[in-house]
Amino acid sequence: MNQQQLQAAFDRALRVSAVQADLANCPVGVSFVLTSDNAAPQTLRICTARDAGTEVACWADAAVWGEALGPQPAVGYQSFGALRRQVPGFRIQGQELHWAQALPLLERLLQAMRSPGDASPAKPRYFDALAHVRGQYLPLRDEAETWVYSETCGNGPPLLMLHTAGADARQWHGLMAQDELRQAWQLLAFDVPGHGRSPLPEGLANWTWQLDQDQYINWVLRYLDAMQLDKVTLMGCSMGSAISLPLLARHADRFVGAVLLEAPFHSPGRRSPYLNHAQVHGGRLSAAWVGALLSPNSPASGRDHATWIYSQSAPSVYDGDLAFYSDQFDARHHTADIDTQRTPLYLLTGNYDYSATPADTRRVAEAIPGAVFQEMPGFGHFPMVENPDGLMPFLRAPLAALHARATQGASS
């Protein structure tokens, strides 16, 4: 890719209204720099800084820019978050604060420079679930003034689905929209206290959230009690998968088995002080932070829904959840105590995920005798939100095996 092609891609992106809005709201100067071994660097000015000294420059050679802006970028080139972590030929120049302020624009711009957008985007899949979902507020027993918002649909043995860090149960609407799942399962999901529609528990101050593993385990078990469920099949994603490992290890009697999406082994470095910072728009940065983990192959409607959910959490919630997911959680504390003869375990991870990589999830599977791992090409960190229809072929066999086990247990 040369400078003229880089400029042409930028000019195309300027037709997108969301890019125009992000440019207007970006408080720092942004430049793309095209490097070469044989010539001086060439600079493409994206936007001008409001204040002197607040500049971010993204440096890469023609090959890196060409791959990142291609219609089907390789793993590691799908976002600026991935480029910074996974591509040695990419670097940024500027302060971390200014990078955080520029990231919402950068991630949107990269996507728009690949394609100016679909003039008639597909209807989001989650709309199809809304006629079937029923919600209620439930008090968690033995917890002072702790309530959660719960959603259910379908008929059959219960399948409990645990959402990711900083999000809520809306992430599962794409699967709740699947007729075959509703016919086979009672699908359940709830917003962790302080998330989505669940209020903060009594005594917890606003904007100082920090999730703890034992607290989280207790909330899941108390939710099962509130729903009068002795035993459920478990599905989680990311943080929901992380907490599922100690649940299976410590409380196997409450679970038939589990299908876990994007399960980490240990994921340090996911936190950022700028997710809850007075000089950074937290909602916009949270959306960009997770948008970087999405697959470029997922439908635009799914990617937009994933980031929209993250733009709405309260200050400190996402970073406070990462205190558990990124700092506290380590699969090695739990793998030895999981018995797949009692609770069969299936692990599925997308190849574009750099928070819980396929290699990391494979390590979890290898540490648990009998666990089954499968890599999912073309998926990012939020498969049930990004592309629920595409996820279904990967879920059918594991869920069929667990459904047979659940129904056999119920009839015996």
Looking at residue 124, what is its pLDDT? Answer: 82
Say whether both 162 and 190 belong to one domain: yes
Asked, for residue 8, whether it belongs to a domain, the answer is yes
Q: Three-class SS of residue 94? A: coil
Q: Residue 205, class by beta-carbon neighbours within 10 Å (0-12 exposed, 13-18 middle, 19+ buried)?
A: exposed
Helix %, strand %, coil % of the chain (to 5): 45, 15, 40
Work out how many domains the chain is built from and give that number: 2
Instruction: Judge whether residue 189 has pLDDT over 50.
Output: yes
33 is written with which tokens?
Answer: 């720099």
DSSP 186-216: EEEEEPPTTSTTSPPPTTPPTT-----HHHH
Beta-strand pair 147-154/186-190: antiparallel
Asked, for residue 198, whether it belongs to a domain, the answer is yes
Q: Report the mean per-residue pLDDT for the chain.
A: 94
Looking at residue 121, what is its pLDDT? Answer: 60
Asked, for residue 119, whether it belongs to a domain, the answer is no
Asked, for residue 206, whether it belongs to a domain, the answer is yes
Say whether both 84 and 178 belong to one domain: no
Final residue of a structural domain among 75, 90, 114: 114
> For residues 159 and 186, is the Cβ–Cβ distance under 8 A?
yes
Looking at residue 146, what is its pLDDT? Answer: 93
CATH number of the domain that residue 324 is part of? 3.40.50.1820
The confidence band for 410, taking pLDDT boundaries of 50, 70 and 90, is low
Highest mean pLDDT among 13-22, 206-215, 248-257: 248-257
In tens, the pLDDT along 79-98 reads: 999 999 999 999 999 999 99
Question: Considering only CA atoms, which of 44, 36, 43, 91 is closest in space to residue 61?
Answer: 36
Query: Tokens 């791992």 label which residue?
Result: 373
Q: Enumerate the β-bridge partners of residue 149.
A: 137
Say whether both 180 and 52 belong to one domain: no
Say whether both 214 and 251 belong to one domain: yes
Asked, for residue 323, whether it belongs to a domain, the answer is yes
> For residues 362 and 387, is the Cβ–Cβ distance under 8 A?
no
Say whether both 204 and 166 belong to one domain: yes
Beta-strand pair 134-139/91-93: unpaired
Crossing angle between the packed helical segments 17-25 and 96-114, to the nearest 10 degrees:
170
Say whether both 223 and 316 belong to one domain: yes
The domain containing residue 79 runs over which residues?
Answer: 3-114
Asked, for residue 120, whether it belongs to a domain, the answer is no
Task: Please tell me the distance from the alpha carbon of residue 8 to that of residue 53, in angstroms, as a whole number.
Answer: 28
Final residue of a structural domain among 88, 114, 140: 114
> For residues 386 and 173, is the Cβ–Cβ distance under 8 A?
no
Alpha helix ranges (H) inside 208-250:
213-226, 239-250
The confidence band for 110, taking pLDDT boundaries of 50, 70 and 90, is very high
CATH number of the domain that residue 76 is part of? 3.30.1050.10
Say whether both 48 and 95 belong to one domain: yes
CB count in 10 Å sphere of residue 340: 17
Instruction: Judge whether residue 386 has pLDDT over 80.
Output: yes
Say whether both 144 and 100 belong to one domain: no
Say whether both 170 and 240 belong to one domain: yes
Looking at residue 119, what is its pLDDT? Answer: 47
Instruction: Judge whether residue 34 has pLDDT over 70.
Output: yes
Looking at residue 358, what is its pLDDT? Answer: 98
| Residue 177 per-residue DSSP state | T
The confidence band for 237, taking pLDDT boundaries of 50, 70 and 90, is very high
Say whether both 199 and 336 belong to one domain: yes
Asked, for residue 164, whether it belongs to a domain, the answer is yes
Q: Three-class SS of residue 333? A: helix
Say whether both 83 and 207 belong to one domain: no
**Percentage of residues of the chain with pLDDT beyond 70:** 97
Final residue of a structural domain among 81, 114, 147: 114
The confidence band for 205, taking pLDDT boundaries of 50, 70 and 90, is confident
Looking at residue 409, what is its pLDDT? Answer: 66
Segment 166-170 mean pLDDT: 98
Looking at residue 73, what is its pLDDT? Answer: 97
**Percentage of residues of the chain with pLDDT beyond 90:** 89
Looking at residue 116, what is its pLDDT? Answer: 62
Task: Please tell me the distance from the alpha carbon of residue 378 to that of residue 395, in angstroms, as a whole number.
Answer: 15
Say whether both 320 and 384 belong to one domain: yes
